[in-house]
Structure 1
Amino acid sequence: MGLFGHARVGRAALLACGMAWFALVPRATAEPLTVPAPLALTLDSGEPFALAASPIYSGGLLTKWQGVAHKLDDERVQLALCDGDRERCVSDAALKFLAIVDTGRQREGRARLGEINRAINLAIRPVEDIVQYGVIDFWSSPLVTFYHGAGDCEDYAIAKYVALRMAGIAAEDLRIVVMMDTLRHEGHAVAAVRLDGHWLILDNRRMAMVEDVNLRNYRPLFVIDDAGVMKYSDMPLLASMPEPAPAPAAALNVGPGLIGASN
């Protein structure tokens, strides 16, 4: 899947993929805010980036997530059955996924998060939805992603979200964050995990985990968990780079629920 126009397919692993503008974000918010970092965290909502967020009850993003959540319910049953009896498990995708969960379970703290982040980054090949599924935007559940061995940024994020939960991370400490890359003018999705009161970002673009307060040049748009989808308020964000030139108008005019390409 990708946002804001098609890019060349088959870039090296761990590159960006796009997420959607869902008509819930005004066009004006496409531009980054260049503010001193101390002003960026004026509120602590308990969410990644410490920005205020409120639930949304309609729109393309919510529809996508609800579709994935329904599939996750089914896949959790299949994974539990395979987890209890590996020899009789007939799903290679489930066994590969469980092997990553097993490795994570053997570690503690930051090492657990890093192991799962690295393993999933290496297990999935970056491919655009239009190439893999013939549609602009398809949100894949972990077993579908592992069956194909390919996906884009939200597929990495969803797989990490489920793997970390199975490895013992509490639901209240897990999120998926949809962001705007203000330098590339494209959307992106990552998993976020709270450890010792700090949110770490697990990104398919890099192996190293970065704390949210140190992540530069991204505008958080939406945050997702088991309860649903919340939209971040338009508040100052972390920024250290000069404001980039505005994106082409055509790149910002994406219809509700649509996703452009940028894998």
Structure 2
Amino acid sequence: MGFPGHSHAWRAVILAFSLVWFGPAADLSAGTLMTPGVSELIRKSAEPFGLFASPLYEGGVLDKWQRVERKLDDERVQLALCDGDRERCASPAALRFLAIVDDARAREGRARLGEINRAINLAIRPMSDEAQYGEIDVWSTPLVTFAHGAGDCEDYAIAKFVALRMAGISPDDLRLVIMRDTVHGEDHAVAAVRLDGHWLTLDNRRMAMVEDANIRNYRPLFVINQSGAMRYADAPLLANLLGREAVPPGALNVAAQPGLLSPAN
């Protein structure tokens, strides 16, 4: 049974979501394929994958990121001191990290992003948190990761996030994204950078950077920027288009749940 008076809106929503998941991002602007309201709502999403995200106020992802942020405050001071006086820098990890940032600063555009992706992928050995720390899902800051020379997906992604910022990328164009690998049934973290209006993902599993519109078999779960952590959710889009009374019961339940990244990243 449908909702009276909303059949055209539902068809527009279904078409919009089909384009988001199966078509390139450029197709989303084709006004002849969807109603102006749907197209406008999608364009308002500034996040990777063109999906809406709501702020997290609790949960495992937020807790882990806040702990990382507190440690990053100290590391930024150490990196600034080492950056200003390399000869007196007492941290080999900081010097290695800064060397990557230096090489990236010497490049522009896509080459700058690719340099950081490639260099950090090569600088860190893949190792699960359980093997390295005896715990599951430990998020490490760049200097800790570089001191150990090993880490898993979120450690790569956090190191790239910080390196990109130091290399001159605006925080407005920089994200961490946690996705669900729907084929292997595990969570995976990447850095994402917006270049010329397109989001590129920097992944420890590949040297080539892939645009979000071309990623398959992953479902985005969380996105992190300089303001905090957010959870991806489709339901608010349905609510805006159709009104809350037209959304099936439970569809708006997007409360944050603690999540763990798979150790096999």
Give the TM-score band, short-chain normalised: 0.7 to 0.9
The structure, 1 or 2, with the larger RCO (C-alpha pairs under 8 Å, 6+ apart) is 1
Which shifted more, 41-50 or 108-117?
41-50
Q: For residue 259 of structure 1, report the CA deviation from its aligned partner.
A: 4.2
Percent of aligned pairs sharing the same letter:
72
Provide the TM-score with structure 1 as the length reference. Answer: 0.77
Is the Cα–Cα contact under 8 Å of residues 152 and 263 in structure 2 kept in the other structure?
A: no
The residue that corresponds to 2:67 in the other structure is 67
1:81 and 1:196 map into 2 onto residues whose CA distance is 33
What is the distance in 2 between the residues matched to 1:193 and 1:258? Answer: 23
Return the alpha-carbon distance in structure 2 between the equivalents of residues 81 and 256 of structure 1: 36
| Distance in 2 (alpha carbons) for counterparts of 1:215 and 1:55 | 24
The alpha carbon displacement at 1:87 in A equals: 0.1
| Aligned twin of 1:6 | none
State the match for 2:238 in structure 1. Answer: none
Distance 2:66 2:91 in 1: 24
Segments of 5+ residues of structure 2 without an aligned counterpart are 1-16, 29-38, 236-256
What secondary structure does 1:229 align onto?
strand
Moved segments of 4+, more than 2 Å: 38-42, 255-261
Which residues of 2 match residues 37-56 of structure 1 at below 5 A? 37-38=22-23, 43-44=42-43, 45-56=45-56
Q: Hey, what's the Cα distance between the residues in 2 that align with 1:38 and 1:94?
A: 42
In the other structure, the counterpart of 1:124 is 124
* Deviation, structure 1 residue 92: 0.1
Greater CA radius of gyration, 1 or 2? Answer: 2
1:149-204 deviation digits (Å, cap 9, x = unpaired) = 00000000000000000000001100000000111111000000000111000000
What CA distance in whole angstroms lies between the structure 1 residues aligned with 2:142 and 2:119? Answer: 13
The aligned counterpart of 1:230 is 230
Equivalent-residue separation in structure 1 for 2:71 and 2:195 (angstroms): 27
For 1:38 and 1:150, how far apart are their aligned partners in 2?
36
Aligned to 1:113: 113
2:188–2:261: 8 Å Cα contact kept in structure 1?
A: no
Indicate the residue corresponding to 1:167 in structure 2. Answer: 167
The equivalent of 1:211 in structure 2 is: 211
Aligned to 2:193: 193
Alignment of 1:262 with 2:250, yes or no, is: no
Is contact 2:177-2:189 (8 Å) kept?
yes
Worse overlay, 89-98 or 209-218 = 209-218
How many residues of Structure 1 are paired with residues of Structure 2 in the alignment? 211
Q: Contact 2:23/2:213 (CA < 8 Å) preserved in 1? A: no
Identify the residue that residue 251 of structure 2 maps to in structure 1.
none
1:135 shift after superposition? 0.6
> Within 5 A, what are the aligned runs for 1:10-89?
35=18, 37-38=22-23, 43-44=42-43, 45-89=45-89
- CA contact 2:188–2:262 (8 Å) conserved in 1: no
Aligned-partner SS, 2:264 = coil
Q: Distance in 2 between matches of 1:198 and 1:256?
A: 30
Cα distance change of structure 1 residues 132 and 96 upon mapping to structure 2, 3 Å threshold: same
> What amino acid maps onto 2:130 in structure 1?
I
- Contact kept, 8 Å, 2:53 with 2:230, in 1: the verdict is yes
Gaps of 5+ in 1: 1-33, 236-254
1:14 is matched with none
Per the normalisation by structure 2, the TM-score is 0.76
- Name whichever structure is richer in helix by fraction: 2
Partners of 2:81 and 2:94 in 1: CA distance: 10
RMSD of aligned Cα (Å): 1.7
Q: What CA distance in whole angstroms lies between the structure 2 residues aligned with 1:257 and 1:181?
A: 14
| CA 126–257 in structure 1, closer or farther in 2 if over 3 Å, else same | same
